[in-house]
Amino acid sequence: MTDARPVAARPIALGANIQRDATAGSVVRLRAEHLSVRYGSTLAISDVTLDVHDRAITSIIGPSGCGKSTLLRVFNRMNDLIPGARCEGRVEMDGVDILGPGIDVVRLRRQVGMVFQKPNPFPMSIYDNVTYAPRQHGVRGKSTLDGIVEHCLKRAALWDEVKDRLRAPAMGISGGQQQRLCIARALSVEPNVILMDEPCSALDPRSTLKVEDLMTDLARDYTIVIVTHNMQQAARVSHYTAFMLAGEERIGRLVEFGLTEVMFTTPRDKRTEDYITGRFG
């Protein structure tokens, strides 16, 4: 961890939450190579190449409209649900091109979970939210499902807060608790990767801190990719950062990618420095 001050005019607590070990981030779990995404005739992102490392947090930052969420959704092919969307290039998970023919998209989305910007618990109990996906995949038996619920809620740092009201409606808990419940729900099918699209943007500062601490804990066992507008958050929690930008033509491109502590202290590109310091965006 570095003591160097970042280039930002406002102070950023660089890597405040990160705990590293000898193997964290040493293996590439996802790789995008010359990736472009189109919606119909509109080019949304162009020629993006980057590596996403296992057991590490990668933040995708940049102004609104630069293609951050489009890039994130490529990793579990959520863009397939948008009419006219198509990808060019290659996206590998553990060396397999997930854009190639014959890929089981349902299985892929089991391996690559998604947490959205706004907490979206199902209109059912806390218990049923966590067990919904395992049941859909054929898991049966009360003791097995009970174990999944306890394990996932503990991993989501929510068990102690809700263990006495598991049958209560999920919509009745706070927004921060709902977001952690959505993370627990994503964990219930034992994914390898967790994608988070601005997971704290709808939360208050206290809830945001809990989710950030949770991300740091989960990164010991999972690959995590987050989209965030919050420079402080990217600096605090991520090991790697990708900065995207769109020009007047509204096509998103990757400007810079690398270790967060390097990008926030000695960025290679002047546009990165300008964005991090708040000169635009």
Question: Tens digit of pLDDT for each residue in 13-42?
Answer: 445 444 444 445 579 999 999 999 999 999
What is the three-class DSSP state of 86? strand
For the stretch 146-181, pLDDT in tens is 999 999 999 999 999 999 999 999 999 999 999 999
- Answering whether pTM is above 0.85, one says yes
Q: How far is it, in rounded angstroms, from Cα 132 to Cα 116?
A: 17
Tokens in use for 185?
């729900």
For the stretch 56-115, pLDDT in tens is 999 999 999 999 999 999 999 999 999 999 999 999 999 999 999 899 999 999 999 999
Neighbours of 3 (CB within 10 A): 5
Q: Apex CA 258: angle with CA 256 and CA 264, to 5°?
A: 80
Is the pLDDT at 266 greater than 70? The verdict is yes
User: Positive or negative, the Cα torsion across 63, 69, 74, 79?
Assistant: negative
Contact 141, 149 (CB under 8 A): no
Q: How far is it, in rounded angstroms, from Cα 98 to Cα 76?
A: 8
Kindly list the structural domains of the chain, giving each domain's residue range(s) and its CATH number in brackets, ordered by start: 28-276 (3.40.50.300)
